[in-house]
Amino acid sequence: MLDTKLIDGKAQAAQLRADVAARAATLKAERGVVPGLCTILVGEDPASQIYVRSKAKASIEAGFASFEEKLPAACSEAELLALIVRLNRDERIDGLLVQLPLPPQIDRQRVIDTIDPTKDVDGFHVENVGGLWSGAPALLPCTPYGCLLLLREAMPKLSGAEAVVIGRSNLVGKPMAALLLRDDCTVTLAHSKSRALPEITRRADVLVVAAGHAELVRGAWLKPGAVVIDVGINRIDVPGGKSRIIGDVAFTEAQGIAAAITPVPGGVGPMTIACLLRNTLLAACARRGLPLPPI
Ligand code: NAP
């Protein structure tokens, strides 16, 4: 039986946030630049409201200027695009993101591609996606980049590792695969049509699961000694009329088999916000032609 290590996303995220705050303080002292992060929330989805609030709180804690824009759920796509165009021109704003999901009358990709790519701190704009895959400078998507930072810490020699990613969304799975490829892993990208998924995962030295399917990956699906990153967030009902959040990996079953695993919550989630702050700082420097801080 292996002694499975818990990957502490909270601690690593706190360290990254402290580094970003220190760099932001230097930027302000030496250049008079205060990075600005603006969120746009369309509608009143409760989870989205929480995410937007925590992003604003985190940016203020990092010493950034925080801006919040809200539109009603019934707003038209044209209204949202016009707001983005105005914010693209606003020099106080270095990072601009539209909280997802969006109401059905709005085309998500058209919205994302209207954001100035130099301000696209979510890293979803087609120009940044192209940069990620081609190796050109790009703002990298926060959740997958956060996963990569956790992996680099848990497994210092990623080069040559067999990496399996479950989930092929534009937001998580695909950019995760691209990042692992950049770090010289041999990458398999699996999805809901993949055959014999347990056989695929049992090859993985590194397994990243972003399927949105509670406890999809069982302990027996893991290669002994694998490093497992669980991106999934699934709310399940528990006795007493309450609910709790669990991941895409059967966490208890993974104990004694995986070398290391992220908990849910407390693993990937905190890294996502830390990477958003990092991207905003990098965007603030890049947009002014300043040297990029090595974080
Ligand atoms: P998504 O857009 O719904 O994509 C899910 C992907 O998983 C799809 O590619 C789907 O395959 C695949 N999939 C679904 N069920 C599967 C199964 N049974 N076997 C194999 N593959 C399966 O979701 P997402 O936006 O990528 O998010 C994935 C999960 O991560 C969600 O739980 C989400 O809440 C969580 N998340 C967490 C964070 C964080 O900060 N911690 C950030 C973003 C997302 P097909 O393409 O074939 O349909």
pTM value?
0.97
Strand partners, 39: 68, 97
Q: pLDDT tier at 61 (50, 70, 90 boundaries)?
A: very high
Catalytic-role residue among 116, 122, 205, 248: 122
Tokens of 155: 């497994």
Helical (H) or strand (E) element with 165: strand 162-166
CA of 69 to the centre of ligand 1 (A): 28
pLDDT value for 1: 83
Contact assessment for residue 119 and residue 243, using Cβ atoms and an 8 Å cutoff: no
Residue 240, pLDDT above cutoff 90: yes
Residues with CB under 6 A from ligand 1: 143, 166-169, 171-173, 190-194, 197, 210-213, 216, 231-234, 268-269, 272
Q: pLDDT tier at 57 (50, 70, 90 boundaries)?
A: very high
Residue 122, pLDDT above cutoff 90: yes
Contact assessment for residue 80 and residue 113, using Cβ atoms and an 8 Å cutoff: no
pLDDT value for 203: 98
For 67-85, give one letter per residue: b (16+ CB within 10 A) or e: bebebeeebebeebbebbe
Average of per-residue pLDDT across 36-43: 98
